[in-house]
């Protein structure tokens, strides 16, 4: 077998072919996985909504709307209805004050503003410390409380929330996200 000569033209042609095959393969895999990934994200969101609001008969994702938040951005609100009557709102809220960055939460509220449930969607908090915010022992202290009357601050800051031991920053951030959702609903005039 004759060895081909290594010229600039041969190298460019070889690299071009490799790039074309690689990009075609990447594009194929993207198209193949795009729909399953989108369905997975939607199912995760719908499960979080089911977890935080009372039983509903509508599809909250189809009726989603955005409300401007007091900080200048906006939050997604998913109304939960049972036979046409609003039984709660699920608010996709967040905070940037976490120990390791952003924390994304789905907070559920009854029409009177009372917290009906909370689901942590995404975080990067310290394993074994800040991750305890996902556990029922921490989240349950918010359920049934109305942030208009319940001080959404950790006890160390004069509030009523029991902070996670050795994870006060994560606890403060959690409270911040819930308060952002509540304030957005109140400013939006939803009751």
Q: What is the pLDDT along the chain (191 residues), one digit of tens a residue?
A: 567 678 899 899 999 999 999 999 999 999 999 999 999 988 888 999 999 999 999 999 999 999 998 777 899 999 999 998 999 999 999 999 888 889 999 999 999 999 999 999 988 888 888 778 888 889 989 999 999 898 888 989 888 888 888 888 989 999 999 999 999 998 876 65
Q: Confirm whether 177 is domain-assigned.
A: yes
Residue 63 resides in a domain: yes
Number of domains in the chain: 1
Look at residue 41 and tell me if it is in a domain.
no
Contacts of 40 (CB under 8 A, 6+ apart): none
What is the extent of the structural domain holding 59? 52-187
Beta-strand relationship, 74-82 and 65-68 = antiparallel
Whether 162 maps to a domain, the answer reads yes
69 occurs within a structural domain? yes
Predicted TM-score (pTM) of the model is 0.80
Strand partners, 91: 77, 107
* Burial of 131 per CB tally in 10 Å (0-12, 13-18, 19+): middle
């Amino acid at each position: 077998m004759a060895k081909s000569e290594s010229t600039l033209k041969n190298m460019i042609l070889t690299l071009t072919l490799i790039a074309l095959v690689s990009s075609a393969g990447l594009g194929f895999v993207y198209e193949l996985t795009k729909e399953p990934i989108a369905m997975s994200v939607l199912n995760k969101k719908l499960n979080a909504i089911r977890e935080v609001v009372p039983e509903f008969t509508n599809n909250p994702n189809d009726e989603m709307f955005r409300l401007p938040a007091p900080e200048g951005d906006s939050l997604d609100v998913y109304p939960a209805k049972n036979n046409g009557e609003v039984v709660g709102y699920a608010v996709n809220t967040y905070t940037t004050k976490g120990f390791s960055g952003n924390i994304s939460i789905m907070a559920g509220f009854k029409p009177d503003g009372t917290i009906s449930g909370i689901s942590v969607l995404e975080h990067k908090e310290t394993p074994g410390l800040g991750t305890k915010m996902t556990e029922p022992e921490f989240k349950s202290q918010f359920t049934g409380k109305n942030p208009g009357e319940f001080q959404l601050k950790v006890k160390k800051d004069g509030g009523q929330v029991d902070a996670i031991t050795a994870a006060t920053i994560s606890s403060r951030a959690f409270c911040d996200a819930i308060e952002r959702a509540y304030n957005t609903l109140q400013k939006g005039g939803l009751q």
